A and B are shown apart, each in its own frame.
Chain A
Amino acid sequence: MAHHELTMPATEAQVRALRVNDTVTLQQRLFGIRDATQIHMFDRGRTTRFDLRGHAVIHTAPNVRKVERSDAFPAGYQPVCVGTTTSDRMERFTRPLMEQYGVRLVVGKGGLREASAQAFQDLGGAYLAIIGGTAALETTWVEQIEDVDLDDLNPESLWQFRIRDFGPLLVAMDSHGASLYDGVRDAAQARRAAVLASLGVPP
């Protein structure tokens, strides 16, 4: 259960060193991505000018305030509340994000499924669990919205955040095929019969 400080972008070796139950704090840069962003990137042939190689993406669509562009707000947006959405809906985009854009880490809540676990194994990636619904706290880890692309999809634009001490996040799926979600799901399924029996439901 080691702790890792990762200044982004990260190398494959750094990501392969992560094991489930380790914790990670991200530094420097993080990209925000969501359903519409990925539907447009992978189903509708759009591309981004951002270089995502070695980077982490977070499943988010932030609350932002439009402001004058300045040194403090280079993209013309001030972050209001930046949180995390349920990852499961975006399961099928994990592999193309990694294969086509070189993404190494996915930050999200609720976990991803088998195809993502396989992509993490094949390509060297990991899933970092953030605590969903704790956006006020998460916002304090975001220093600035540095840039934005595909902004016609706002709020589901592709956001580039400057971050500081973003975490600790829990390694919930690693590049060695381990997933905390699988373990919890299997254990819960195994308890199902006993729980139903306690409610007087015949098997």
Chain B
Amino acid sequence: MKIDLQAVEDTAKELYIRALKVLPPDIKQGFGRLVTNETGATAKRVLATMVQNIAVAEQTDNLLCQDTGVPIYNLWIGKGVEVDGQALKQAIRRGCERATREYPLRSSVVHPLTRKNEHTSCGIEVPVIHIDFSDELDNLRIEMIPKGSGSENNSFLKMAVPADGIAAIKTFVIDCVLAAGGKTCPPTIVGVGLGGTSDLAVALAKRAATRPLGSACADAAGAELEQQLSIAVNQLGVGPQGLGGDATAFAVHIELAATHITMNPIAVNMQCHSARRARADITPTGVAFGF
């Protein structure tokens, strides 16, 4: 399958706007679970307002949250897909720029030193584009994640040592959730990246934070630990918006990689309750949008 770059550009634009407007069904179901289990009076009201906002966004065809975030595009190139890699990245960038200018969206992206805003949601190395490969025949999959800053500002890395063991991982995750308090717009998805190098651990944490609810870590030991931590963080009482209650997190997700005999890296990255993402599959029959 030869990739039509105009279709990629149009899809990249559409994905940004879709992601900002409609929450994925797994997140909506996650709200349902939290609402059912919540015992705090203030927390119940806070969660009800969040659920109401999801409906208002759909009824008024508006953005869920004003934070258009840092745009992230994750791509998976399937078998038999023919595409010029550099042109593919440029098409994604043009789509991101067009979404911002044509909708128009707030450009939340600035130069880190001059703080200059190009008003395109683009800048040096942004949008963030990750490219990977898949087994799927004739399929180019594009996932778009507008990553909000309230949650992103609460990102943590600890290069623990082997002697600190799993206890260090558990303690660090709990302490990060306590340190974040209401600043991350809880209930969150707490993404934990374990192992690898420092940069890989942080990337894994982001992958974990943006994984659909209900999915599990592919590694058995990781899956068991994420279940334990999911229960534990909701016993802290931070609650929705840090105003107290049971619903501190939808879940703790873990992604892990092998690491060095001397290392025990732990990264934490959080996703806010507006856990937005959108996906498209470009195939020979056209573009199919999903989550």
Contacts and interface: CB of A to CB of B under 8 A. Distances in A.
Interface of A: 21, 36, 60-66, 80-86, 88-89, 109-111, 129, 131-137, 139-140, 154-155, 170, 172, 180-181, 183-185, 187-189, 191-192, 194-196, 198-202
A172 B52 CA distance: 21
Contacts of B290: none
12 contacts: A61-B66, A80-B63, A131-B49, A132-B241, A132-B272, A136-B62, A188-B181, A188-B236, A189-B178, A192-B178, A196-B170, A199-B228
Given A36-B115, A183-B244, A187-B244, A110 B181 contact: yes
A156 to B, nearest CB: 9
Contacts of B182: 109-111, 181, 184
Contact of A136 (B63, B115, B236): B63
The binding surface of chain B is classed by DSSP as loop
Contacts of A21: 42
Given A63-B66, A170-B243, A184-B244, A131 B104 contact: no
A24 B238 CA distance: 23
Contact of B52 (A134, A139, A181, A199): A134
B20 to A, nearest CB: 8
B174 A61 contact: no
Nearest to A88: B183
B56 A136 contact: yes
A81 B56 CA distance: 12
Interface in B223-267: 228-229, 231-233, 235-244
Contacts of A88: 183
A200 B108 CA distance: 42
Contacts of A189: 178
B186 to A, nearest CB: 9
User: Top 5 closest A-B pairs, CB basis?
Assistant: A83-B66, A136-B57, A134-B53, A110-B182, A81-B63
Given A155-B106, A170-B42, A172-B243, A135 B235 contact: no
A83 B65 contact: yes
B11 interface: no
Contacts of B243: 129, 170, 172, 180-181, 184
B67 interface: yes
A88 to B, nearest CB: 5
Nearest to A131: B49
A172 B274 CA distance: 22
A11 to B, nearest CB: 27
B66 A111 contact: no
A80 B62 contact: yes
B38 to A, nearest CB: 14
Contacts of A64: 104, 106
B200 interface: no
B172 to A, nearest CB: 11
B239 A133 contact: no
Interface string B157-181: 0000000000100110011001001
B279 interface: no
Given A65-B104, A132-B272, A140-B60, A181 B181 contact: yes
